[in-house]
Structure 1
Amino acid sequence: MKKIIISTLLTILFWACSNKTKYSYSVTVSAPEEYPVEVHEGWLMDDQKKFICSMPKAGNEGGGWEYDGSKAGQGGSRIPYHLNLTYVAYAEKKFYTVDADLPVDKILEEFNKGFDVEADHKVDGEYPLVHDTYNTFTIGAAPGGVIVIWLSAGHHRVEICRLQAKEVFVDVNDFYQNADDENQQQFFDSWFKIAVPEATQEEIKEQGIPFGLWDNYREKFNYRFVLNPYDEEDELTGYYNINFNGESELTDDVKRANEYKLNSIPYDANLYFKKYFTEIFFNDKEMLEVFNTLKSKHPDKPIDIIITPTFMYNDMKVSVKCEDEEIPLKKYKVEGVWGG
Structure 2
Amino acid sequence: MDKFYKIVILLIVSLNASCQMKNKYEWDSYTCQPRLSVKGNENVYCVEFVRGDIITLEGIPATLPFGGSSGRWGDSGKSWTSQHGTPIGADVIYYAGYEDKFYHLKTDFPVEEMKKAVDTTYQYYDDNHEKFSGLIFGFAPQGMVVVWKEYGVIRIELGRYQAEVITDDKELEKKLFRDWSMNREEVKARDFMPNASCAQWDMYRKRYTFRVVMQNENPNLRLFQYCFTNYNGEQDIIFMPPLPATSYDNRALPQILEMDWETSGRERFRGNIFLNEKVIFEKFKNFKAEDKQEFEVKISKDNKKLELFLNNQPVEVDSVRIYKGSVMYKGSY
Q: Shorter chain as normaliser: what TM range?
A: 0.7 to 0.9
Structure 2 residue 260 is the aligned partner of structure 1 residue 272: yes
- For residue 317 of structure 1, report the CA deviation from its aligned partner: 2.2
Of 141, 144, 148, the match for 2:142: 144
Please say if residues 68 and 138 of structure 1, whose CA atoms lie closer than 8 Å, have aligned partners that are also in contact: yes
Please say if residues 313 and 337 of structure 1, whose CA atoms lie closer than 8 Å, have aligned partners that are also in contact: no
Q: How high is the TM-score relative to the length of structure 1? A: 0.74
Of 61, 67, 92, the match for 1:52: 61
- For residue 263 of structure 1, report the CA deviation from its aligned partner: 1.3
Of 192, 207, 211, the match for 1:220: 207
Deviations 1:250-307 (A, max 9, x none): 23323496222221101122112234320122223322221233x24xx744212222
Whole-angstrom distance in 1 between the partners of 2:74 and 2:244: 23
User: What SS class does the counterpart of residue 72 from structure 1 fall into?
Assistant: coil
Please say if residues 149 and 161 of structure 1, whose CA atoms lie closer than 8 Å, have aligned partners that are also in contact: yes
Structure 2 residue 319 is the aligned partner of structure 1 residue 333: yes
Report matched runs for 1:181-196 at 5 Å: 182=183, 184-190=184-190, 192=191
Counterpart code for 1:40:
V
- Residue 36 of structure 1 is matched in structure 2 by 46
Please say if residues 209 and 249 of structure 2, whose CA atoms lie closer than 8 Å, have aligned partners that are also in contact: yes
Please say if residues 236 and 257 of structure 1, whose CA atoms lie closer than 8 Å, have aligned partners that are also in contact: no
- Report the number of matched residues: 288
Please say if residues 237 and 252 of structure 1, whose CA atoms lie closer than 8 Å, have aligned partners that are also in contact: yes
Of 146, 159, 162, the match for 2:160: 162
Structure 2 residue 103 is the aligned partner of structure 1 residue 96: yes
- For residue 85 of structure 1, report the CA deviation from its aligned partner: 0.9
Report matched runs for 1:313-332 at 5 Å: 313-321=303-311, 326-332=312-318
Counterpart code for 2:234:
E
Of 224, 238, 249, the match for 1:251: 238
Greater share of strand: 2
- Residue 25 of structure 1 is matched in structure 2 by 27
Q: Relative to 1, partners in 2 of residues 1:99 and 1:316: Cα closer, same or farther, differing over 3 Å?
A: same
Please say if residues 223 and 305 of structure 1, whose CA atoms lie closer than 8 Å, have aligned partners that are also in contact: yes
- For residue 181 of structure 1, report the CA deviation from its aligned partner: 7.1
Q: Root-mean-square deviation (CA), in Å?
A: 2.9
Whole-angstrom distance in 1 between the partners of 2:290 and 2:149: 29
Please say if residues 74 and 148 of structure 2, whose CA atoms lie closer than 8 Å, have aligned partners that are also in contact: no
Please say if residues 45 and 53 of structure 1, whose CA atoms lie closer than 8 Å, have aligned partners that are also in contact: yes
Whole-angstrom distance in 1 between the partners of 2:128 and 2:219: 33
Whole-angstrom distance in 1 between the partners of 2:238 and 2:49: 34
Report matched runs for 1:129-140 at 5 Å: 129=127, 131-140=129-138
Structure 2 residue 99 is the aligned partner of structure 1 residue 86: no
Structure 1 spans left out of the alignment, 5+ residues: 1-19, 119-127, 194-203
Q: Relative to 1, partners in 2 of residues 1:260 and 1:211: Cα closer, same or farther, differing over 3 Å?
A: same
Whole-angstrom distance in 2 between the partners of 1:266 and 1:41: 34
Please say if residues 66 and 242 of structure 1, whose CA atoms lie closer than 8 Å, have aligned partners that are also in contact: no
Q: How high is the TM-score relative to the length of structure 2? A: 0.76
Q: Relative to 1, partners in 2 of residues 1:305 and 1:316: Cα closer, same or farther, differing over 3 Å?
A: same
- Residue 62 of structure 1 is matched in structure 2 by 70
- For residue 178 of structure 1, report the CA deviation from its aligned partner: 4.0
Deviations 1:29-85 (A, max 9, x none): 11111222222212022346x4512321143x2311131352232x43211223111
Whole-angstrom distance in 1 between the partners of 2:118 and 2:278: 33
Whole-angstrom distance in 1 between the partners of 2:128 and 2:307: 35
- For residue 25 of structure 1, report the CA deviation from its aligned partner: 0.9
Structure 2 spans left out of the alignment, 5+ residues: 1-20, 37-44, 264-268, 327-333
- Residue 228 of structure 2 is matched in structure 1 by 241
- For residue 164 of structure 1, report the CA deviation from its aligned partner: 0.4
Counterpart code for 1:168:
I
